[in-house]
Amino acid sequence: TLNSVQINSLEQKLAAFEKETSNQVVVWMEPSLDGNSVEDRSYEIAEQNGIGQKDKNNGVLLYIAKNDRKLRIEVGYGLEGALTDALCSQIIRNEITPNFKKGNFFEGINAGVEAIIKTTKGEYTAEKESSNEDPIGGICCIPFPIIIFLIIFIFVFILPIFSRIFGRNKGKSRSGNWWFTGGSGSGWSSGSSGWSSGGFSGGGGSFGGGGSSGSW
């Protein structure tokens, strides 16, 4: 998917960023998730390889399952404040997947890495949501009797339904993010130590599930 020139370009960029900030960004691509969720697999790779510094937990993993057309940005504890879930989602949507959809994997990875680096430096900002409508003005235009009717309707009909639904589901929780499965560790990893097909040796950083997933 990537040629030697492209790999070398990414290597140099990530190594320079790590030298400058000590933040460690790893790009890992493999063919398939082997039945796992992208969240499970990404978290597993990040934790097992200890991406980031142990005392700073400043690692980031850009994980790609090429044949499954899924990806995730996994963020270490120490960078969750700068690289928020919302910004990770924006980077995936705006920088990476548009290129992947065209088959331009290097361009997508490179754009994603650039955006991750800029975000940790505070140079990549969130999208501003625009709306032509004034939500407060819209509410004010609704006749008062209709507002009263809607409030009564919600209390009498809607709330009891939600109460029954949540009552049945109480006690259930999703544990998928913490379920680890074995894997070959095959794929590409990048960092100051270079690219390899057998894994990456990090500095002992930890992850807590922060980040965002996507597909193309």
Does 108 lie in the same domain as 165?
Answer: no
Q: How far is the C-alpha of 54 from the C-alpha of 201, rounded, in Å?
A: 12
Q: Which amino acid is at 138?
A: G
Per-residue model confidence as pLDDT tens digits over 101-153: 999 999 999 999 999 999 988 888 656 544 444 444 444 556 777 778 778 87
Q: What is the pLDDT of residue 171?
A: 41
CB 43 within 8 A of CB 61: no
Per-residue model confidence as pLDDT tens digits over 54-68: 888 888 999 999 999
Q: What is the pLDDT of residue 154?
A: 74
Residue 34 lies in a domain: yes
Q: Is the pLDDT of residue 216 over 70?
A: yes
Question: Average pLDDT of the chain?
Answer: 75
Structure tokens at 203: 């500095």
Does 189 lie in the same domain as 163?
Answer: no
Q: Is the pLDDT of residue 177 over 70?
A: no
Q: How far is the C-alpha of 197 from the C-alpha of 135, rounded, in Å?
A: 53
Give, as one character, the DSSP assignment of residue 208: E
Q: What is the pLDDT of residue 160?
A: 64
Number of compact structural domains in the chain = 2
Burial class (CB in 10 A: 0-12, 13-18, 19+), 105: middle
Does 116 lie in the same domain as 21?
Answer: yes
Does 110 lie in the same domain as 9?
Answer: yes
Domain of 14 in residue numbering reads as: 4-127+185-215
Does 143 lie in the same domain as 40?
Answer: no
Q: What is the pLDDT of residue 41?
A: 92
Per-residue model confidence as pLDDT tens digits over 10-53: 988 998 998 898 899 999 998 889 889 999 999 988 888 888 88
Q: How far is the C-alpha of 107 from the C-alpha of 86, rounded, in Å?
A: 22
Element (H, E) at 214: strand 207-215
Does 69 lie in the same domain as 26?
Answer: yes
pTM: 0.67
Q: How far is the C-alpha of 181 from the C-alpha of 80, rounded, in Å?
A: 25
Does 100 lie in the same domain as 164?
Answer: no
Residue 201 lies in a domain: yes
